[in-house]
Each structure stands twice: as structure tokens, then as C-alpha cells.
Amino acid sequence: MTNTANQRGETFFLNLRFLLIVCVFVGNAIEPLIAQISSMHTLYVWIFTFHMPLFVFVTGYFAKSNLLGQPGRKLMLQIGLQYVIFQSLYSLLDMTVFRVEHIRHSFFAPYLLLWFLASHLCWRLLLLAMNKWTPLQQLALSILLGVLVGYLQIDGLWFSLSRTFVYLPFFIGGYHFSFAFLEKILTRTTRLYLLALAGAVITAAALWGNDLEAGWLYGNMTYGQMGHYEWHAGLLRLGLYALQFIAGFAFLSFVPLQESRMTDLGRRTLYVFLLHGFIIRIAAISPLYDYVGSPEAALIVIAGAVLLTLLLSHSLVRKWTAPVIEPSVQWLLAIERRALRQMGAAGKH
């Protein structure tokens, strides 16, 4: 019974993960259009109300099986290696091919989408540090830290510090989440209510999206950077947490429970995540967006983003790029073991 429930939960969250990576690709693809096409701005704001919090939530959910012990150490080494590889690749291409200005090229300033790798590593370390606490204590502290980090007088970009703490509650929530609870309440009737709620969020994005500072949605800026120096600025973040929870919960109405081709594609979202940035960069320096000036043309951009998501999720892409996307860390583990043996030998003398 338990194994069956776990399998159903894995299926649901893999389906969710694939739908979210589609949203990531679409959101990045339409960003150059949001200033001149209002419908794209509405779609963009709607996507950003839920896709990063939910992606972190899903990441926390799947961390249940590999947070502790050897699997946990191995995965953290792999995340660190992925970060070094892609931080180097993106920075090198920016300086030589894309010629993007105003980008800080530093291993201490994660490059655009690579903030997720840096923060993922930190979320795991923070959860390990709180491992003996109750889930409620972990969640309460994470929310408090998410609010307080905004008051720091620093650039939230460095070390992905702001996003690490802003999204920490979603990682911890996902780690402790029980799919059995969701399965119990996610009835056909509930899905209809959630679908209506998603429509309400989209309507709100259309009516008031222009009034919402983008930094709140990105989570990468302190209150001061967004011009909020008042002592109660943290209440705005609490309000945003409520919005993200509502928008994220509403999005669940789109997620199927049944296993399908989507489930298999959901196993390879990391490939889409790390590789799609190159496509976005190529599109940005090309004349593509000069020809997109209407909602109809923007729909072609969205369709292209969806098709490219399917392409990058293909098993052949995994076969060709696995050494870079999921690099082996056995050599790092071997170095670690040798170092520990040497330390042990030194301690005996």
C-alpha cells in the first residue's frame, strides 16, 4: 500500500515538474515581449507567481530519498560540479559570443538561471543543519529567515543569498509533504475550484500585474534594492508568500495523476533547465523578436518554447549530454576517501 502511494506521488510530481519546466522555458522566451504586448505581460506575471516556488517545492519533495548519507554527499558534489561547469560555459559564451553587457562574471554571483543550483546546495545544507528539529520548527524558522533576509544591506545576488532564504520554506515544505494528503483532497470537484482560482490569479495579474515590482517575484532583491526602507517591508513578503501559495495550489488543477509520456519527460527536466538558457541567449541576439509585435506572433514563440522543451527532454539529448549535465563524481569521492584516510593516519601519530 505504501509503495503504491509513493509511486503515485512520484508520478504526480514528475508530471508537475514537466509542466513547470515548460513554464520556465515559456516565461524566459516571452520576457523580451512583456513591455509591448500586454497579454504576454499578464502571462509572464502569472507564471512567476507560482513556477519558482513550486519548482523548489518539487525539488524538496524529491530530496526525501537522497538527503542523507552517501547518496546525499554524492548529489551535493554533483550539484557543485554542475555549477562550476555551467557557470564557466555561460560566462565564456557571454564574453565571446553573446556579448551580453552588465553581467557579473564571478563564481560568487550565480549566472541567471544557475542561482537554482547554488541555492539547491544551500537548501540541502540548511535542512541537514535543522534535521533534528520538528517539521513545524523548520518551516517557522525558514519563513522567518525568508522575511529577515530582505532587510540585509547587501546585494541579494551574491551567493544567491536572497533567493536561498526566500525560497527555503518551499523546499522544506516539499521535503515534509505527504502526497496522501493531496491525493485525498484533489477530487474532481476540488480541481474545478482550483481551476477557477487559477483564473482569478490570471485576472489579478492582468489588472494589477503592472503594480507589482518584479523583484518581489524573482526573490533576488532585498527590500532596499526595491525601494522599500520601511520597517514593515517584511509584511509585504509575507503577503507574497500567501499569493505564491494560492497561485501554486491553483496550478495543481492542471496536473494529471495518471502516468503517461509526460511522467517520463519529467525525469529529464534538469536537461531542459540547464540547456535552454543557451537557446534563450541565441534568440536574444538574433533578429527574432524584431518580427514579434502582436499576440498572434507571440503565440508562435510560446509554441516554439513548448516544442523545444519536448526536444530537450528527449532521451537522446540525455544520452549525448549526460557527461556534462550529470557529471560523474566518483573521482571526487575517491579524493574525499583518500583525504579522510590521510587525516586518520595523521591523527594516530
Amino acid 91: pLDDT = 86
Residues 7, 4: Cα–Cα separation, whole Å:
5
Least confident of 135-139, 243-247, 314-318, 343-347: 343-347
- Please check whether residue 222 is in contact with residue 150, taking contact to mean a CB–CB distance below 8 angstroms: yes
| Residue range(s) defining the domain that contains residue 75 | 2-348
| 23-26 long-range contacts, CB within 8 A, separation 24+ | 23/47, 23/51, 24/51, 24/55, 24/272, 24/273, 24/276, 25/272, 25/276, 25/305, 25/306, 25/308, 25/309, 26/302, 26/305, 26/306
Amino acid 55: pLDDT = 97
pTM of the model: 0.93
pLDDT 10s digits, 310-338: 999 999 999 999 999 999 888 887 887 77
On average, the pLDDT of the chain sits at 91
| 3-class secondary-structure state, position 187 | coil
Amino acid 1: pLDDT = 43
| 214-217 long-range contacts, CB within 8 A, separation 24+ | 214/48, 216/240, 217/45, 217/48, 217/49
Classify residue 321 by burial, with Cβ atoms within 10 Å: 0-12, 13-18, 19+: middle
Q: Where are the alpha helices (DSSP H) in the chain?
A: 2-30, 38-62, 69-93, 115-129, 135-148, 161-166, 168-175, 179-185, 188-208, 214-218, 233-251, 261-265, 269-285, 295-312, 315-325, 330-348
pLDDT 10s digits, 9-61: 999 999 999 999 999 999 999 999 999 999 999 999 999 999 999 999 999 99
- Please check whether residue 158 is in contact with residue 40, taking contact to mean a CB–CB distance below 8 angstroms: no
Residues 268, 309: Cα–Cα separation, whole Å:
10
Amino acid 343: pLDDT = 66
Structural domain count of the chain:
1
Amino acid 330: pLDDT = 85
Residue whose C-alpha is closest to residue 182's, from 246, 126, 253: 253
pLDDT 10s digits, 80-122: 999 999 999 988 888 888 776 666 667 778 888 999 999 999 9
Amino acid 347: pLDDT = 61
pLDDT 10s digits, 265-292: 999 999 999 999 999 999 988 999 999 9
Residues 36, 22: Cα–Cα separation, whole Å:
23
Amino acid 108: pLDDT = 77
pLDDT 10s digits, 182-212: 989 999 999 999 999 999 999 999 999 999 8
